[in-house]
Amino acid sequence: MMLQRRLQLLDTTEASWMSTAIKVAFATTDMKHVDQHFGAARSFAVYAIDPEQARFVEANEFGQLDMDGNEDKLEAKIEALAGCVAVYSQAVGASAINKLKARGIQPVKVSPGANIEELIEALQQELREGPSHWLARAIAETLPADPARFDAMEAEGWEE
């Protein structure tokens, strides 16, 4: 299963903001609600989100697929979500969970028909109040490594 269409919104004036935002995907058919199982998702809406703002940045569209019996579909979908820290869907299978987590993408299961705007607002609230473990880990993975981290370890008495 190949990606059929990808729409990306580019705004060079927002480059600095995009470097601090996280990208999150939603399995959707109408771009307003999470209404798809990850494996059978026909499309994903991708948003860049920080505590104060959220912007739609990309839509990925795939063809119609059954939920079972076509493991090849997972790779194309996971590739399309490169750079995302999470993907929200109605359900996700065990093999997809393993593959997503191996790529640093947290699968998040939500109720059928969950409103994307409300999910974004809840995620922004979490970012403002202090992220959960998975979100804090995802944010940390997007930051460059601190070159002074080994100096701090040495000052604490660590040795090679």
* Per-residue pLDDT tens over the stretch 124-145: 999 999 888 888 887 777 666 6
Provide the whole-model pTM. 0.79
46-50, 66-70, 89-93: which has the minimum mean pLDDT? 66-70
Q: What is the mean pLDDT of the chain?
A: 83
At the second CATH level, the architecture of 5-155 is: 2-Layer Sandwich (3.30)
Which residue in this structure is represented by tokens 């935002």? 21
Segments making up each domain of the chain, as ranges:
5-155
Q: Could you give the C-alpha distances from 154 to 9, 44, 131, in angstroms and in order?
A: 45, 45, 29
Of the candidates 78, 25, 80, the one whose C-alpha atom is nearest the C-alpha of residue 54 is 25
Instruction: Enter the tokens of residue 48.
Output: 């860049």
pLDDT band at 160 (very low <50, low <70, confident <90, very high): low
* Per-residue pLDDT tens over the stretch 7-51: 666 564 455 555 678 999 999 999 999 999 999 999 999 999 999
Element (H, E) at 59: strand 54-61
